[in-house]
């Protein structure tokens, strides 16, 4: 037995292969080993040995030890496409090197901008057995990496009854026989004993060695010959046919399976927007539901009217019963639907159609679609969601009128990943949660009700994936990665196994994060970061505390004002706020005044129609337009006990005038209650105007809270709900970051706290940059708090400030995210060094 100890060739964070964001390496198809997320740009020799020739490969180096073990080090993922740019080889093929000698220099920042990942796999390319290895800790160059038994490194398989088979293939891979396809070839041959060589350009190489195949320098389209010798030679050759397109006449070529380049994860990968995070490994279930057929003419106004009223009453009762037994987002949605199905305007419009001789079904469809179409064109995502709610209720009522259950039901296989054009909330709620692994939608939005429901139930969900997902055959194995934003269709078995290991690893990581989430968090150099939760109900407050929330940085009060016929009374509001305050057990509660406007059809707030509601009567402007509603809300907030727990937050403030007027109204309410002082009164910075005036606002406001969703929308001039431009609306755009810096500086100069409460607060990529910009308080979605706290503990505030400056000078949001990826790797390494 020949034992070799390998030293770390890079400084950085060591992680298991299963976490490498590439299925070939993650599945150990290129060989067993580990990976390092580097923090320095020099690759060193892991042992004494000889540099193995790897033609045209400047992004990877192989060292063959004296015992014959070949150690392949592949810098970054998918870096072969860079064609050597950003790399400088420091050694030559055949050169003898000592352990620790520099082998390759690479531009860390350039690679971060150009490659999907800097993670560098270090694998045994020609066999050998790993006896022990380092993992999940920071390494310096020269630290222990692996102990390897090289006894089998050069073993040649024996064949009981030698046979010889050969066949020509044309190489289909875009970059030729580089690491990933060579690893697939070697992996396909593992079950067989025969000797297999590849002959090209008059040279031969073992097909069991990834490095040997790479040394041939074979390019895409070149012809190779595969020669198999041994008892199972025919079977070994057959195993390669699905990977390599045979070099046959064109008429026969059409019958040959398409090249492996079209079946690798990247080619079979469909990307979308992450609506609910998580990873799922399962089988595809196509959800296709035809529109319910109805008849236009009714059987008489009296009978059709009675049928409609009975259906509406039944559904309202049914939804109310479901809501009584549901919690969180599910309960809120069901209550909203129960209220909406009783809307008098919808019923009136439907009965008018019935009076014209139409059927109850026709009348209901006409009424709901008319209202839905008017809402769908509004410039407000919440109203577009109301349009989706109406379409959902349309179908439920039509099913009741047909004598069926309100929601369509479907039996699911184990670990079902539902693929659909779109999905309505009632349909999602009807699915068996025990068998549902995830959902992928061709359309839909990341802030839809279905997205909120999926997140509340822990169901991974991708949206806006496109129509290609509807072509996936039912029963096809899939890997849904809603952490990175893609679904892999029919991946190889090894890739499925790697995904399952990655899912288990993430689950263990989340459990560890949750266990530590109840403790406060600070950066490594002692900068305290407060992590609060965005809330919308008492139930969410209880759940947020379990996730480690230190308070509520934003209570959305719209839930009290929407989907009802009359405004909530002061007493009703005070009771609700009081219950949420009690649920927080004395922790801070920041209550945002109603953020409603002219684009929302609220019966008791008949604001004029506006061509561009996003730039019209909304937020504090709408509140001041109807000050009696604002007065009642301020009075309710002032009644919450204890008085010291609450803060008041004003949405859509542009300048000091808005703040001063609201402060005066609040002071009047306080005097009426006999209160001598007001709670802290802060403003949301959601427009470029407010950001530019932040120094003035900070002098009079008690605190500032940055709403990055609207700030990004207004700064970049991209509608938050735009289907085609959604990916370009990124709060990490340098223009948005520069406004955030201005607000943070203004708050610091006035000694006022500055918080981020938009979606950016829940973004792990954004966290180190926010800290570097001077934001020390965030308010996030409750489910993200454990991971955010763990990330804070890995950061160094000084390094974050350097990162933030580089982000401000970047050219795009994509460039900023690449910088953030490098920063995370360095933080992990430094935290454990």
Q: Residues 794-833: pLDDT tens digits?
A: 899 999 999 999 999 988 888 887 787 666 666 665 555 5
Last residue of a domain, one of 124, 149, 174: 149
Same-domain pairing of 550 and 685:
yes
Q: Which helix (H) or strand (E) holds 74?
A: strand 70-74
Residues 346 and 326 in one domain: yes
Instruction: Indicate whether 210 and 359 sit together in one domain.
Output: no
List, in sequence order, every residue forming a beta bridge with 535; answer none if it has no partner. 555
By CB atoms closer than 10 A (0-12, 13-18, 19+), residue 242 is middle
Nearest to 793 by CA among 815, 775, 810, 771: 771
Which is more confidently placed, 29 or 47?
A: 47
- The token pair that represents 148 in the structure block: 């390897």
The C-alpha atoms of residue 736 and residue 816 are separated, in whole angstroms, by 12
Are 572 and 603 part of one and the same domain? yes
pLDDT in tens, 566-598: 888 999 999 999 999 999 999 999 999 988 764
Q: Is residue 506 part of a domain?
A: no
531 and 668 fall within a common domain: yes
- Measured distance CA(780)–CA(770) in Å, rounded: 13
Neighbouring CB atoms inside 10 A of 572's CB total 13
Cis peptide before 96 (omega within 30 of 0): no
For a pLDDT cut of 70, what percent of the chain falls above it? 85
- pLDDT-derived band of residue 43, with 50, 70 and 90 as boundaries? very high
Lowest mean pLDDT among 81-95, 264-278, 302-316, 416-430: 264-278
Provide the CATH number for the domain around residue 128: 2.70.70.10
Domain encompassing residue 421? 269-289+411-490
**Residue 552 maps to a domain:** yes
Euclidean distance between the first and the last CA atom of the chain, given in angstroms as a whole number: 33
Cβ neighbours, 10 Å, residue 365: 23
Cα(438)–Cα(10) distance, integer angstroms: 37
Tell me, yes or no, whether 375 and 417 share the same domain. no
CB 757 within 8 Å of CB 516: no
Domain CATH number, residue 193? 3.30.1340.10
Of 149, 180, 195, the position where a domain reaches its end is 149
Which residue, of 369, 401, 433, is where some domain finishes?
A: 401
Query: pLDDT tens across 128-159, in order?
Result: 788 889 887 888 999 999 999 876 444 433 33
Q: What pLDDT score does 256 carry?
A: 28
Highest mean pLDDT among 111-120, 498-507, 559-568, 608-617: 111-120
Beta strand residue intervals within 162-304, DSSP E: 164-170, 195-200, 203-206, 223-229, 245-246, 269-271, 273-276, 279-287
Q: What CATH number is associated with residue 783? A: 3.20.20.60
Residue 236 neighbours by CB under 8 Å, 6+ apart: 165, 189, 192, 194, 196, 228, 230
**Looking at the predicted structure, is the pLDDT value of residue 730 above 50?**
yes
Query: What amino acid positions are annotated as catalytic residues?
Result: 449, 757
Contact 126, 69 (CB under 8 A): yes
Give dist(CA 84, CA 574) in Å, integer: 65
Q: What is the DSSP string of 667-699?
A: HHHHHHTT-SSPPPEEEEE-SHHHHHTHHHHHH
CATH for 275: 3.50.30.10
The answer on 761 and 815 residing in a single domain is yes
Q: Give 51-87 pLDDT, tens digit per residue.
A: 987 766 788 899 988 888 889 999 998 787 787 888 9
Residue 631, number of CB atoms within 10 A of its CB: 17
The DSSP bridge partners found for residue 569 are: none
Any domain includes 501: no
The confidence score (pLDDT) of residue 434 equals 85
Residues 578 and 446 in one domain: no
In the predicted structure, residue 299 carries a pLDDT above the cut 80 = yes
In a domain? residue 724: yes
The answer to the question of residue 509 being in a domain is no
- How many CA atoms does the CB half-sphere of 489 hold within 13 Å? 22
651 and 799 within one domain: yes
Q: What pLDDT score does 246 carry?
A: 41
**What confidence score (pLDDT) does residue 262 get?**
32
The count of domains in the chain is 5
Q: Which of 414-428, 604-618, 723-737 has the lowest mean pLDDT?
A: 604-618
> Do residues 590 and 649 lie in contact, with contact meaning Cβ atoms separated by under 8 Å?
yes
Across 341-430, where does the E strand assignment appear?
Answer: 416-420
Q: Is the domain of 67 the same as that of 173?
A: no
Q: By CB neighbour count within 10 A (0-12 exposed, 13-18 middle, 19+ buried), where does 575 fall?
A: middle
Spatial distance between the Cα atoms of 184 and 16, rounded to a whole number of angstroms: 19
- H/E stretch holding 500 reads helix 493-516
Q: How far apart are CA 775 and CA 825, in angstroms?
A: 21
Tell me the average pLDDT across 329-335: 69
Assigned token pair, 118: 């800097």
446 neighbors 485 (Cβ within 8 angstroms): no
Same-domain pairing of 551 and 645? yes
CB count within 10 Å of CB 102 equals 15
| Domain annotation covers residue 388 | yes
CB 706 within 8 A of CB 715: no
pTM for the whole structure = 0.58
Does residue 207 lie in a domain region?
A: yes
Say which range, 52-66, 326-340, 375-389, 464-478, has the weakest mean pLDDT: 375-389
pLDDT at residue 173 greater than cutoff 70: yes
Residue 671, domain member (yes or no): yes
Q: Encoding tokens for residue 417? A: 């990943």
Report CA 203 to chain centroid distance, whole Å.
Answer: 47
The answer to whether residues 140 and 184 belong to one domain is no
pLDDT of residue 422: 83
């Amino acid at each position: 037995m020949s034992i070799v100890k390998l030293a770390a060739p890079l400084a950085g964070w060591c992680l298991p292969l299963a976490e490498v964001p590439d299925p070939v390496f993650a599945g150990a198809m290129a060989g067993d080993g580990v990976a390092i997320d580097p923090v320095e740009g020099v690759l060193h020799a892991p042992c004494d040995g000889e540099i193995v020739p790897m033609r045209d490969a400047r992004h990877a180096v192989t060292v063959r030890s004296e015992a014959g073990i070949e150690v392949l080090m592949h810098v970054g993922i998918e870096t072969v496409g860079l064609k050597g740019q950003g790399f400088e080889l420091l050694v030559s093929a055949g050169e003898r090197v000592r352990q620790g000698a520099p082998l390759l220099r690479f531009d860390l920042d350039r690679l971060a901008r150009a490659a999907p990942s800097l993670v560098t796999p270090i694998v045994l390319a020609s066999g050998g057995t790993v006896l022990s290895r380092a993992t999940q800790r920071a390494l310096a160059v020269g630290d222990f990496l692996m102990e390897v038994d090289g006894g089998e490194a050069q073993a040649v398989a024996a064949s009981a009854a030698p046979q010889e088979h050969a066949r020509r293939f044309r190489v289909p891979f875009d970059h030729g026989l580089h690491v990933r396809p060579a690893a697939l070839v070697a992996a396909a041959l593992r079950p067989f004993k025969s000797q297999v060589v590849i002959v090209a350009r008059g040279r031969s190489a073992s097909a069991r060695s990834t490095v040997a195949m790479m040394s041939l320098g074979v390019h895409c389209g070149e012809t190779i010959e595969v020669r198999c010798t041994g008892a199972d030679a025919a079977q070994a050759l057959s195993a390669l046919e699905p990977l390599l397109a045979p070099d046959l006449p064109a008429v026969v070529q059409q019958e040959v399976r398409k090249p492996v380049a079209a079946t690798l994860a990247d080619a079979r990968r469909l990307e979308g927007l992450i609506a609910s995070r998580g990873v799922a490994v399962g089988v595809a279930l196509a959800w296709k539901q035809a529109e319910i057929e109805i008849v236009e003419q009714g059987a008489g106004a009296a009978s059709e009217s009675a049928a409609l009223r009975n259906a509406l009453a039944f559904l309202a009762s049914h939804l109310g019963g479901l809501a009584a037994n549901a919690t969180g987002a599910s309960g809120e949605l069901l209550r909203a639907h129960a209220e909406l199905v009783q809307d008098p305007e919808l019923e009136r419009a439907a009965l008018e159609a019935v009076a014209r001789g139409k059927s109850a079904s026709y009348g209901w469809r006409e009424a709901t679609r008319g209202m839905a179409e008017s809402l769908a064109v509004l410039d407000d995502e919440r109203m577009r969601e109301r349009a989706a709610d109406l379409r959902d209720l349309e179908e439920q009522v039509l099913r009741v009128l047909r004598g069926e259950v309100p929601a369509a039901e479907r039996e699911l296989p184990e670990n079902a990943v539902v693929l659909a054009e779109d999905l309505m909330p009632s349909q999602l709620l009807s699915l068996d949660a025990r068998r549902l692994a995830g959902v992928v939608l061709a359309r839909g939005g990341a802030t839809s009700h279905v997205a909120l429901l999926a997140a509340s139930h822990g169901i991974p969900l991708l949206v806006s994936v496109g129509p290609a997902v509807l072509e996936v055959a039912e029963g096809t194995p899939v890997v849904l990665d809603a952490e990175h934003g893609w679904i892999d269709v029919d991946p190889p078995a090894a890739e499925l196994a790697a995904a399952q290991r990655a899912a288990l690893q993430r689950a263990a990581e989340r459990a560890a994060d949750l266990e530590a989430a109840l403790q406060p968090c600070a950066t490594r150099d002692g900068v305290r970061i407060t992590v609060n939760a965005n809330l919308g109900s008492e139930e969410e407050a209880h759940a947020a505390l379990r996730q480690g929330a230190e308070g509520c940085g934003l209570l959305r009060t719209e839930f009290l004002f929407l989907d009802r016929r009359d405004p909530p009374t002061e007493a009703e509001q005070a009771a609700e706020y009081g219950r949420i305050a009690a649920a927080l057990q004395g922790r801070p509660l920041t209550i945002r005044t109603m953020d409603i406007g002219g684009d929302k059809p609220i019966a008791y707030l008949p604001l004029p129609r506006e061509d561009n509601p996003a730039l019209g009567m909304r937020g504090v402007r709408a509140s001041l337009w109807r000050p009696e509603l604002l007065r009642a809300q301020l009075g309710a907030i002032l009644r919450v006990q204890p008085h010291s727990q609450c803060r008041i937050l004003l949405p859509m403030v542009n300048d000091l005038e808005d703040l001063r007027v609201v402060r005066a109204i609040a002071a009047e309410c306080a005097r009426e209650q006999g209160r001598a002082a007001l709670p802290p009164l802060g403003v949301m910075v959601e427009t470029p105007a407010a950001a530019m005036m932040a120094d003035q606002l900070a002098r009079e406001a008690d605190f500032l809270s940055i709403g990055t969703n609207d700030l990004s929308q207004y700064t970049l001039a991209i509608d938050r709900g735009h289907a085609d431009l959604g990916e370009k609306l990124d709060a990490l755009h340098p223009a948005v970051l520069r406004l955030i810096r201005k607000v943070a500086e203004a708050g610091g100069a006035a000694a006022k706290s500055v918080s981020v409460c938009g979606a950016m607060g829940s973004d792990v990529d954004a966290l180190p940059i926010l800290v570097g910009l001077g934001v020390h308080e965030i308010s996030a979605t409750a489910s993200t708090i454990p991971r955010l706290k763990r990330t804070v503990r890995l950061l160094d505030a000084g390094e974050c400030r350097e990162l933030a400056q580089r982000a401000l000078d970047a050219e795009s949001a994509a460039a900023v995210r690449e910088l953030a990826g490098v920063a995370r790797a360095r933080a992990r390494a430094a935290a454990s060094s």
